[in-house]
Chains A and B, each alone.
Chain A
């Protein structure tokens, strides 16, 4: 059962426009969310995160929005650049029975920014 879902496997956007990547989750106990970007033949790299006590976090061209009631988060990239073309994974922090944490990742969305 996929607890973190990225329903759009791919997205194409024109350079300079906004890219919106979406992520839905099922567990209301998730309290921290992260976005990772992955280029081919490289490992994922951390992009931006948000705590469940916030509804928005911004870092340069990247903004993450969290809607807890809808169990939905989104990543906005403005303006989109060709170098942003990559696979984006959202992840949620899951507290285990031992009190530690593990990250549950979505299936990823492949973003292609067209020049």
Chain B
């Protein structure tokens, strides 16, 4: 079956702009999580959505937001971009949010902020 699909794969923005990233989970998966990967920081948890509801949130400013649609597809938005937002943004889906649930990651969206 198709894996997790993230679009766009690469994008370049300038400071102050906003960006929307999209994630289509594996069919049947209801949980979608977002992570930010930067050198030296590993994967930082942004938020998790389950059945259109945000269930968990990481320690990121309010400029980072997300949503999930009824078909489980998810989007994340970053407003007023800063240079430090340059990173690989990874989306992961799972069937549920049980702690033994394996996460399936997409290839990521690499954002460069100039």
A103 touches B45 (CB 8 A): yes
Tell me the minimal C-beta distance from A22 to chain B in angstroms.
Answer: 14
For chain A residues 22-37, which have a beta carbon within 8 Å of chain B? Answer: 31-32, 34, 36
A107 touches B107 (CB 8 A): no
Please measure, in the bound complex, the distance between the C-alpha atom of A46 and the C-alpha atom of B102, giving whole angstroms. Answer: 7
Known contacts A43-B4, A46-B102; decide if A104 and B45 are in contact (CB<8 Å).
yes
A89 touches B42 (CB 8 A): yes
B107 touches A100 (CB 8 A): no
Known contacts A43-B105, A43-B107, A43-B108; decide if A101 and B99 are in contact (CB<8 Å).
yes
Contact of B40 among A91, A104, A107 (CB under 8 A): A107
Contact of A105 among B43, B50, B56 (CB under 8 A): B43
Secondary structure class of chain A's binding surface, majority of residues: strand
Asked if A42 CB lies within 8 Å of chain B CBs, one says yes
Cβ of B92: which chain A residues have Cβ within 8 Å of it?
43
B99 touches A107 (CB 8 A): no
For chain B residues 8-56, which have a beta carbon within 8 Å of chain A? Answer: 33, 35, 40-45, 48, 50, 55-56
Count residues on chain A whose CB falls below 8 Å from chain B CBs. 30
A49 touches B56 (CB 8 A): no
B43 touches A44 (CB 8 A): yes
Contact of B55 among A36, A45, A51, A100 (CB under 8 A): A100
- Closest Cβ neighbor of A98 among chain B residues: B55
Cβ of A104: which chain B residues have Cβ within 8 Å of it?
45
Contact of B97 among A43, A91, A100 (CB under 8 A): A100
Cβ of B97: which chain A residues have Cβ within 8 Å of it?
100-102
Please measure, in the bound complex, the distance between the C-alpha atom of A52 and the C-alpha atom of B98, giving whole angstroms. Answer: 15
Tell me the minimal C-beta distance from B36 to chain A in angstroms.
Answer: 11
- Closest Cβ neighbor of A47 among chain B residues: B102
Residues of A within 8 A of B (CB): 4, 6, 9, 31-32, 34, 36, 41-46, 49, 51, 89, 91, 93, 95-96, 98, 100-108
